[in-house]
Amino acid sequence: MSAFDIMQAVVLGLVLLASLVAAFRKLLPLTARRVQAGLSIALDRPGRLIAARRLGRWLQPAEASGGCGSGDGCSSCGGCAPVAPASDAGVMPLRFRQHS
């Protein structure tokens, strides 16, 4: 194997890993947040290397509350968020005319 083949395999693997992570976070947001929090807790323990503890703090998920007030922070669908009132300022009714 040449150096180009190795570099190509590494880059392709990183692209595949990034797309899998993005799909996981998009399709399973609550589970992804739990996995991220678990990894953060595992890395940010006393006795670990400073680099691992910094990575653990960086991976710590931000606290967010869901639109429904449950506090779980999923808010992925937006279905339980309060609905803003629709304004009728720019709405014009349809008028049908018969052809003669």
Which DSSP category does 63 fall into? P
> Per-residue pLDDT tens for 28-68?
999 999 999 999 999 999 999 999 999 999 988 886 445 55
Distance CA 27, CA 24 (A): 5
Does the pTM surpass 0.85? The reply is no
Among residues 24, 93, 3, 100, the alpha carbon closest in space to that of 39 is found at 24
Q: How many domains does the chain have?
A: 1
The pLDDT of 76-87, averaged and rounded, is 61
Q: Which domain holds residue 35?
A: 3-59
Residue 37 maps to a domain: yes
**Inter-residue contact 66 to 72 (CB < 8 Å):** yes
What is the model's pLDDT at position 65?
A: 46
Q: What angle do CA 52, 53, 55 make, to 5 degrees?
A: 65
User: Is 73 a domain residue?
Assistant: no
